[in-house]
Every structure is written in structure tokens, then in C-alpha cells.
Amino acid sequence: MTASDSVPKHVPKYVAPAPIDLPDRRWPARTITRSPQWCSVDLRDGNQALPNPLGPAQKAEYFRLLCRVGFKHIEVAFPSASQDDFDFTRRLVESGDIPDDVFIMGLTQCRPHLIERTFEAFRGVPRAICHAYVATSELHMKQVFGLDRRKTLEMAVKSVAQIRDLAAAMPESDIRFEFSPEEFTDTDPAFAMEICQAVFETWTQATKDRPLIFNLPATVERRPPNQYADLIEWFCRNFPHRDRVTVSVHSHNDQGMAVAATELTLLAGADRVEGTLFGHGERTGNVDLVTLANNLRARGVETGLDFGDLPEIARAVERLTGMGIYYRQPYSGEYVFTAFSGSHQDAIRKGMLQRDEAPAKFGMGWKVPYLHVDPADVGRSYEGLIRINAQSGKGGVAWVLEREYGLKPPRQMHPEIGAAVQKVSDRVGRELTAEEVHRAFCDEFLHPQGPYELVGYWPRPDETDPTHIHGETRLRIDGVEKTATAEGNGPISAFVHGLQQLGIRGFAIEDYDEQAVGKGADARAVAYVPLKLAGGQVLFGVGSDTNIDQAAVRAIVAALNRQAARQAGR
């Protein structure tokens, strides 16, 4: 029998959560203008969900990583849950490795012996937060713990008093307190308020400078983000000592909306966010702090967290946790700054070439199509922005040739290049590397197979009129070497007339593009020559040489070979 079979037919299996009565909600009209406090729970909430939890050395390395990123609140362990967690907390305290501005945090349930053990782990700590929690939802109180509201409230108050007295007995340490009504979003709001008020009154030590932290978690994401925001605004507006508490949120991602939910709670008045790098955590994980912090930065909010070398951070976390990062994970995935679509590639290429104009045009330093942030801000480079597969277009191919090889074919040549590269991608059925794109370009335009092979071309100015050129052309046609001598009003004109003498006709050259690739003694000229054929079709060839005239005649021969291949049906 399935779970569905046990549900009476007149009872719906799922119902929408009841909305919060907040008709004058204010958060929808607000904008996030300042950063929240950040609390990493990677070493506790994230670690407990790993198939292979971190060992002591791995935890120590991860802790140092979190400190470098800029976290000031780091939940390091559940010291009473295991000897390993207790020992790691002691290791941090005794090593002196906790930075002067960092509070380590230890989690405990509201049980006397667990609280006692937590403070044993804290002995001698310079700065710490004791984070106590009790489940307040009807589901947990009734089905998990067998408690009613009164007993739950009494347990919380008794535990807070114990924590208060133990903290007072450690005057050499700066001990702060955090309380979580677990499953806050599934708790009756009136009861959540009642228990938090009782906790506040029992703690007695909360001030504006040393606020009590109320962590109001979406332990399981059951509500849509707007309802979580309503609950947070309702709490912030109705708690009587708001100036002496920090309202913290802790979003899980069961419905895939943890980032959105957290952003809305910040609009609603939350001061602090708990989460993990890349969203590690139970089930679908916690809110991804990498995504959230970079979202805020993309809107002009300085977060205090440094993700300027995100690829290295990602590699470290993958190595330590054994968990890979999805290749389309915002900001950190391999493909998040990559375009495969031809139209996207073309727009990115054009935007990148004009990005210096963004301040004048848009009043901001970065505005590029399809790239909402500068990849360099998170340690990414531009080289991999455009990748080539069967869906790619001419703009993307041109970008790769320019960025990787310094080649700048004229715009009217881009459709031919795109078609040539796409043919290769279709044949191999996968993404092409930059090297493969370049090879396809060379095979099609620079060194195409065909009946014509240039042996040499010697242009000489006329003795009386240097603008008049005498040209000697030696060309192999189907393996047979032939020679022609012709004249023209320039080296290219003389070469074309020589080809005509050899019976190669039916085309004209009206103009061509040239560029230098490389610098100094290693520089080479590249010519892009369009042959205008008798039927009006234009076919490009490319030539490269140390001399621009030689590059141009090589390009003409390449284009003629391409024409011959088409006529032969190749």
C-alpha cells in the first residue's frame, strides 16, 4: 500500500499553506541597499549532509577558507553530538587560529547535558555564539517529541537560563546567544512570538551592541518565498524589543527557491543570513551563499565577502567535500559565462567590443548582452565565454578566432566561416575546441585542397612609372606548372591579369581586407580576399605571408580552390 492509498478520498493529499494576515505589507516596495551579516554553517549543517563527513584536517582547512572569504560568524560544530565535533571545537580554541573578528558558533539542542557539554568545548574561547534550538511546529511537538506548547516553552526558558549562567561564568570570553524556533515557517506565528519573547526576557543580556540573535528558519521549505517574507516582516514589526535583537534567516531549498526566499526576507527586515557555499546541506541543501552574495554585489551592494577567486574556492570545496559543483550552478559552474547559441554569441561579441561605452550609455561600468556580471569579478576569464557546437553561429566563431588567434575576418565573411565550422561540428557531433575551430578555418579558407598551387609571384614596378606593375606568375594547375607575365596598375591587378592569361576567368576583385598578426619580427600579414563570381556570388579566400601583396595573391588562389571544390560538389 502506498502513502496515497491511506489518505481518505475526501481529504486532499496536499493543501496550500495559509497566507499571513499582513494586508499592509511593506517589503514589496523596498530595495536591498545594505549587506546582511553572513553566517556560514558549512562545517555543521553542510558537513552533516556529506556522504563522507570532513575529517579534522579537512575541517581546519575549510575553516581557514571561510575566514579568507570574509565570514565573521562560522558555525563550526555540534560539540555535544560527537567526540569528533567536540575535539574540533577544542582544536580551534586551543590553536589560537580564530581571527580576532570571527565568532565561532556551536549548535545545541535545549537539553541540560548537551548545553553543559557545549560550554566545555567553549572553555577559553575568545569569541563564540551558543546556538540553541527547539522545534516549535505542531508537527514536531506532537509527532516527534510528544510535547505541548507549554512544555516546549518551559524547556526553552530553562535552557536559556542555563546558557545565560554558563556564559556569565566565563567573563574572559565574549559569549553571544542565538535561539532558533525550529521549523519557524511551519509554526503558529503567535506561538513563535510568545516563545521568542520568553527567551528574550530570560537572556537579560541583550543590548544594541550585543544583540540576541533570533534565527527564524525555513527548516523545510513548505511555503512560497513571499509568505516567508510576510512572516519575517510580521515578526520584525511586532517583536517589542526589535532594536536589541538580530533577526536571522536560514532557508532550505526543498522547493528550489531558497535564494529567492532569502532575498525577500532581507526586504522584509532580516539582518543576518545563514547558509553554505554552493548550497551544501540536508536534502536539497541550504541557501547558496555564493549565489546570494554575488546577486547582491551585482546590484551594487558591497557584501564584505570576497569571491574574486571563485574557481579556486570551488576546486577546494569539491576536493574537501567530494561533491561536484553543477556545471550551470550560478557564478561557479563551468558553463555559466558561456554561450553556445549563435545569436547569443554574436551579441556577447559585440557587447564586449563596446563595453568601455557602458558608463556613458547606461550609467554603469558593466552592461554586456547575456552577461549580467563581469566574469572577472569572480575570477573567470573571457576566453571561455563562447563555445562552439552545432547550435553556434557566425558571431561566436569569429569571437573565438579573434580572442584565441588574433584573426579579424571582415564581417561579410562571418557567414561563410560560421557555415564551415558548423559543418565540422555537425560531423563530429560535439562541442569544438578553439584549436578545432581554428583548424576548420584554415582547412576551408587558408589551405583548401584544389587544382591550383602557387609556385611564386614576382611583381616589379615599371622603370618609368612605379605605379605600373609587371608581374610574373608561376602556378601549378592539376600538377602542371605554368607561367604567365602580365601587367596591371598594382600587384594584385597584375596577378589577376596573369591568371586570365592562364585561362582562369569569371571573377573580379573589387576590394579586400588586410591585417597584421603578431608583432615585430614575428608579425605576418593576413589578407581576406572576396572573389566576386560571374553569377554575383562572393567567395572568400585567406592568405598569410610576411608581405601583404604575397598574402593577397595566396588568398586569391585559396578562393579559386574553394570555387573549384564547390563546382566539383565537394
CB 495, CB 553: distance < 8 Å:
yes
Whole-number Å distance between alpha carbons of 253 and 310:
22
Average pLDDT over residues 49-66: 95
Q: 396 vs 9, which has greater pLDDT?
A: 9
CB count in 10 Å sphere of residue 236: 20
CB 38, CB 273: distance < 8 Å:
yes
* Least confident residue range of 71-80, 251-260, 379-388: 379-388
Average pLDDT, the chain: 92
The grid coordinates of residue 489 equal 596598375
Q: Is the dihedral of CA 510, 515, 520, 521 positive or negative?
A: negative
Identify the pLDDT of residue 9.
Answer: 81
- Long-range CB pairs of 200-208, under 8 A, 24+ apart, other chains included: 200/241, 200/244, 200/245, 202/157, 202/160, 202/161, 202/164, 203/160, 203/163, 203/164, 203/177, 204/164, 205/164, 205/167, 205/177, 206/241, 206/244, 206/245, 207/244, 208/243, 208/244
- Asked whether residue 390 carries a pLDDT value surpassing 60, the answer given is no
Identify the pLDDT of residue 564.
Answer: 92
- Asked whether residue 71 carries a pLDDT value surpassing 70, the answer given is yes
**Which is nearest to 279 in space by CA: 63, 568, 50, 51?**
50
- Asked whether residue 392 carries a pLDDT value surpassing 70, the answer given is no
Run of H or E including 527: strand 524-533
- Asked whether residue 134 carries a pLDDT value surpassing 90, the answer given is yes
pLDDT in tens, 170-179: 999 999 999 9
Question: What does residue 525 show for φ and ψ, rounded to 5 degrees?
Answer: -90, 140
**Which residues in 388-412 are b (16+ Cβ under 10 Å) and which e?**
bbbbbbbbbbbbbbebeeebebeee
Whole-number Å distance between alpha carbons of 61 and 64:
5
Whether pTM exceeds 0.75: yes
pLDDT in tens, 529-540: 999 988 788 999
Tell me, what DSSP letter sits at residue 444? I
Provide, rounded to the nearest whole percent, the portion of the chain with pLDDT above 70: 96
Identify the pLDDT of residue 143.
Answer: 77
Give the pLDDT band of residue 383 (cuts 50, 70, 90). low
CB 512, CB 518: distance < 8 Å:
no
Identify the pLDDT of residue 396.
Answer: 73
| Beta bridge partners of residue 475, listed in sequence order | 454, 482
pLDDT in tens, 308-361: 999 999 999 999 999 999 989 999 998 888 877 767 878 888 898 899 999 999
- Asked whether residue 494 carries a pLDDT value surpassing 80, the answer given is yes
| Beta bridge partners of residue 109, listed in sequence order | 133
User: How would DSSP label each residue in 108-164?
Assistant: EES-HHHHHHHHHHHTT-SEEEEEEEEE-SHHIIIIII---HHHHHHHHHHHHHHHH
322 Rama class: left (phi>0) / alpha (psi -120 to 50) / beta = left
pLDDT in tens, 257-270: 999 999 999 999 99
